[in-house]
A and B are shown apart, each in its own frame.
Chain A
Amino acid sequence: MHELALSRAIVDAVERHAEDRRVVSVQMRIGALRGVVADSLAFYFEVVSRGTACDGARLDHEPVAALLACPACGETWDPTQPLPRFRCPSCGAGGDVVRGDEFEVESITVEEEDACIAPR
């Protein structure tokens, strides 16, 4: 369900940048902390993009591993393995997210008419 709402947000964001050009593919960066299931996102994206500029477009994504940093002692760690752990493993302070919260449309590939280059 989560991925359905998120795929709608992707289509909306892409359409604003596509400017009526047909979208061939969408490149995303998705952080591990977002809990997004990539296959599910691709499935819903295909469904909700029908009839939009994204119709038939491929959804590519680069996974971004999560990294937390401790504001007290500087330790860094992956908070997702083996179980969620947002407290510093060294000193016990609450960690700050360095990366892993991304849900970003990085770029889109669109089809454009070739510009007229005939000499005047």
Chain B
Amino acid sequence: MHRTKVRVAEDALDANETIALANREDFDRASVRVVNLMSAPGAGKTSLLEQALADLDGIRAGVLEGDVQGSVDADRIAALHVPVAQLNTDPGFGGECHLDANMVRSAIPSLPLDDIDLLVIENVGNLVCPAEFRVGEDARVMVASVAEGEDKPLKYPLMFRTCELVLINKVDLLPHLDFDLDRFLYNLDAVNPDVARMELSARTGEGVDQWRSWLAGLPNRVAAAAR
């Protein structure tokens, strides 16, 4: 018996990336654009989807709900008559705090890809792990609520740095909180210079129009970028 060193030189997440690319090819083939929507638990992902998806300027949207357990969020989306599929990480995936490419792959057969133009994947609820695992998305969006504190971009830079749009939710609470919005924007800019950001409130509907327009415009923006 002897010891041998074997050169690997491989990103440990290569396997996930490969599956994410396969997902992306499936979505491309069906001309479906995909958003990976991430946030801490309770930041308002589902509420912002409820607000935006009800009327999306003729864009047909579907949702893949990723949760550890249950279908509470999926039921809320289904009530809007938006097609929704549920992916629970608890039964088959060890109760993971995030979705990975393989979990999303397993859900593709349950998605009505031929009947939708836009798929939003609502990613469990965590500021750490989801940042590591691409799932085949065209765009990454994160929700940060003002109840969470202005230091979050500095504490979770990987998440804030790898998204294209930051939705600053619950701004209706600003008068009641110590949250310093300017300081938050400064911190956000430090980790992701010039990232698009929107200030809104799913509760009052303030600013939701721009979020809806952003979603509705995604298919055209992706098509233009591919040209």
Partner-B contacts on A (CB < 8 A): 1-2, 5-6, 9-10, 12-14, 16-18, 21, 24, 28, 33-35, 83-87, 93-95, 102-114
Asked if B2 contacts A108 (CB within 8 A), the reply is no
Q: Taking chain B's interface residues, is the majority helix, strand, or loop, or is none over half, making it mixed? A: mixed
Q: How big is chain B's contact interface, by range?
A: 35 or more
Can you name 14 A-B residue pairings with CB atoms under 8 Å? A2-B128, A5-B132, A6-B12, A9-B16, A35-B157, A94-B194, A95-B193, A103-B11, A107-B6, A108-B6, A109-B6, A111-B2, A111-B4, A112-B4
Q: A35-B157, A86-B193, A108-B8 are in contact. List 14 more A-B contacts (CB 8 A).
A: A5-B98, A6-B12, A17-B10, A28-B12, A83-B190, A84-B190, A86-B191, A103-B11, A103-B12, A104-B11, A105-B9, A107-B6, A108-B6, A109-B4
Greatest chain A CB density within 10 A among B8, B161, B192 is at B8
Contacting residue for A2 out of B129, B189, B190, CB 8 A: B129
Contacting residue for A111 out of B3, B9, B15, B126, CB 8 A: B3
Q: Which residues of A sit under 8 angstroms from B98, Cβ to Cβ?
A: 5
Cα separation A111 to B5 with both chains bound (whole Å) = 9
Chain A, residue nearest B194 (CB): A94
Asked if B15 contacts A112 (CB within 8 A), the reply is no
Chain B min CB distance to A107 (Å): 5
Mask of B6-47 contacts with A, CB within 8 angstroms, 1/0: 111111111110000000000000000000000000000000
Asked if B161 contacts A86 (CB within 8 A), the reply is yes
Cα separation A24 to B2 with both chains bound (whole Å) = 11
Cα separation A80 to B132 with both chains bound (whole Å) = 18
Asked if A110 contacts B4 (CB within 8 A), the reply is yes
Q: Taking chain A's interface residues, is the majority helix, strand, or loop, or is none over half, making it mixed? A: mixed
Contacting residue for A105 out of B1, B8, B96, CB 8 A: B8
Check B158 for interface membership: any CB of A closer than 8 A.
yes
Chain A min CB distance to B67 (Å): 16
Cα separation A102 to B133 with both chains bound (whole Å) = 14
Contacting residue for A9 out of B8, B13, B96, B157, CB 8 A: B13
Asked if B15 contacts A108 (CB within 8 A), the reply is no
Chain B 57-116 interface residues, beta-carbon cutoff 8 Å to A: 96-98, 100
Asked if B12 contacts A109 (CB within 8 A), the reply is no
Contacting residue for A107 out of B5, B11, B12, B193, CB 8 A: B5
Check B153 for interface membership: any CB of A closer than 8 A.
yes
Asked if A85 contacts B190 (CB within 8 A), the reply is yes
Chain B min CB distance to A3 (Å): 9
Cα separation A33 to B12 with both chains bound (whole Å) = 15
- Indicate whether A12 sits within 8 Å of B11 (C-beta atoms), given known contacts A110-B4, A112-B3: no
Asked if B1 contacts A13 (CB within 8 A), the reply is no
Chain B 162-212 interface residues, beta-carbon cutoff 8 Å to A: 189-194
Q: Which residues of B sit under 8 angstroms from A104, Cβ to Cβ?
A: 9-12
- Indicate whether A107 sits within 8 Å of B8 (C-beta atoms), given known contacts A33-B157, A94-B193: yes
Chain A min CB distance to B116 (Å): 29
